[in-house]
Structure 1
């Protein structure tokens, strides 16, 4: 009995230390943002200038739209997408030959610097990445927790405006690297935020709205986002939600999304018709059965990843129609998601 009691208290002590460590880590998370604002890291926005992967990152001479993909919280850089994310973007670029698909933006860094390239903790993240690739779940969780804290910084109304401006500058830098025509107002930009990057995409909208001349849309792919001023800046937010996506309950953690706060940015955007919910059917958040899974299929035999590509392409093509309103595009996309014709 005494041994069991001692083991119990050892376990509780270990859990207490872990919790204390997480709280300290959370408390220090805004320092990167404040350091960027103070100019400690300089003005450089990092990019590796990686060559096109087929149609991904290729710039056609007659580009009609720009699509920027922001990855989920499991990444350490803009060049370490999961194989499912890479497959999704290749398929999307294949069906959208006149769009520029950009995948090398890392939304969990104020200057697009990979975690593995950081001057102080780069060694830790290189170790975590190696361990994650070898299979241990704990190393992957360390990366996820770190990036999740950055999502919380983005949604925090004290530090979020600074972090979101940095994210917007990284996105603008990427657009200009891929020849976005700043002199034209008819080339729409679509920012796809997957999982936690839904907040990063929404948060950047306030600043991108000031800088970009053309239409600006947000596509939340199972995205987690709070009540952010960016919801009132984007022309429209299309939010994909799968019936099996159990991560979406996290939205309830943000008081600004509760109906008892009618003046929050989220509730105002809803009343203005700026947000459309697209139910994608029996899709989960990630992995097998997720939005980007090529091995699982809908009841009609369509692979989940192909349906997701189809829905995103339908939104982009709809926005290119001069007479189509966001509401009409959303209705068509909902019909397509339900198994009908767009």
Structure 2
């Protein structure tokens, strides 16, 4: 262990955490005050979307909001594997992975000189930075500002990827871990700016349950009994408790817009995580393949249900169960 790390552990962790907390708040305040404009340009050669070609409308736009390892426009290693698997399995989707959930200014952490140095010497601080951003996004004092900032970032990237507001093409927010806090917070801003049908899929979602989900068509919660981190989120945030009936999360549950899907025995991180290509299931699939298959099936079912609803609006109501909905509501 380096002398620098020992020094931080001995007497510097407290000040570092304080500095992280202040920096996390600075970004959202700088955005709100207009001191700095969010970044919209991507690195040279990086497309605004992958998957379905831009010369025809895709079946849906999927925005992947990575976990706390996200510190540049490109996805983390595991997040990149998931995106590639989704594109291979569902070429009809146009996929965006460049959104920075933990930066209201869309400023890549890895590109900042001081953080590049820290990444080489004390990489843990990069994760602490993004963890702090999650709690800022959950703080009731900053939550509306953070939601507006990152919601606008997502809307901007969708437009640059070819999305036309009011087109009726679904937008899917697929979030992993802390990305769920950002996904649930972006709903209102995306509805206001794009008027798009919104489908949320959380994978091991860590969020406080305070955000209003009224404008989301549905939220699919992919979880596992072995996911301790996701479970901690249900304990530490009172808005996730059933006692707080008026929270955005509990209102959505009572309205039947939250469905739980079990991906046991996956863990949150590690060699048996949801997106592990090595961990095998009894049917021969990897955890990564099962997760991708589940996400794709949910999107296609929602797309089929939306198309059927549009047909009913043109042809009149028909009797029968709402097609495409094969999941069960979270009781």
Q: 1:112 aligns with which of 106, 110, 127?
A: 106
Secondary structure (helix, strand or coil) at the match of 1:68 reads strand
- Provide Cα deviations, 1:152-211, integer angstroms capped at 9, x if missing partner: 1111111011011110111111111111122412x1000111111111111111111112
Partner of 2:308: 323
Please tell me whether the aligned partners of residues 51 and 57 of structure 1 are also in contact (alpha carbons under 8 angstroms): no
> Number of residue pairs matched?
310
Secondary structure (helix, strand or coil) at the match of 1:227 reads coil
Secondary structure (helix, strand or coil) at the match of 2:298 reads helix
CA apart distance, 1:109: 1.0
CA apart distance, 1:230: 3.5
Secondary structure (helix, strand or coil) at the match of 1:230 reads coil
Q: Label 1:211 to 1:15 Cα distance change in 2 as closer, same or farther (>3 A).
A: same
Partner of 1:246: 228
Q: Label 1:211 to 1:85 Cα distance change in 2 as closer, same or farther (>3 A).
A: same
Partner of 1:305: 288
Distance 1:181 1:169 in 2: 15
Q: 1:99 aligns with which of 93, 109, 133?
A: 93
Q: Label 1:205 to 1:76 Cα distance change in 2 as closer, same or farther (>3 A).
A: same
Please tell me whether the aligned partners of residues 58 and 92 of structure 2 are also in contact (alpha carbons under 8 angstroms): yes
Please tell me whether the aligned partners of residues 138 and 181 of structure 2 are also in contact (alpha carbons under 8 angstroms): yes
Please tell me whether the aligned partners of residues 48 and 160 of structure 2 are also in contact (alpha carbons under 8 angstroms): no
Please tell me whether the aligned partners of residues 50 and 96 of structure 2 are also in contact (alpha carbons under 8 angstroms): no
Report the TM-score when normalising by structure 1: 0.83
Please tell me whether the aligned partners of residues 108 and 150 of structure 1 are also in contact (alpha carbons under 8 angstroms): yes
Please tell me whether the aligned partners of residues 204 and 222 of structure 2 are also in contact (alpha carbons under 8 angstroms): yes
Partner of 1:42: 37
Q: 1:210 aligns with which of 192, 202, 205?
A: 192
Partner of 2:118: 128
Partner of 1:32: 27
Partner of 2:13: 18
Please tell me whether the aligned partners of residues 244 and 283 of structure 1 are also in contact (alpha carbons under 8 angstroms): yes
Partner of 1:164: 147
Partner of 1:72: 67
CA apart distance, 1:301: 1.7
Distance 1:96 1:60 in 2: 17
Partner of 2:245: 262
Please tell me whether the aligned partners of residues 27 and 105 of structure 2 are also in contact (alpha carbons under 8 angstroms): no
Gaps of 5+ in 1: 1-10, 132-137, 335-342
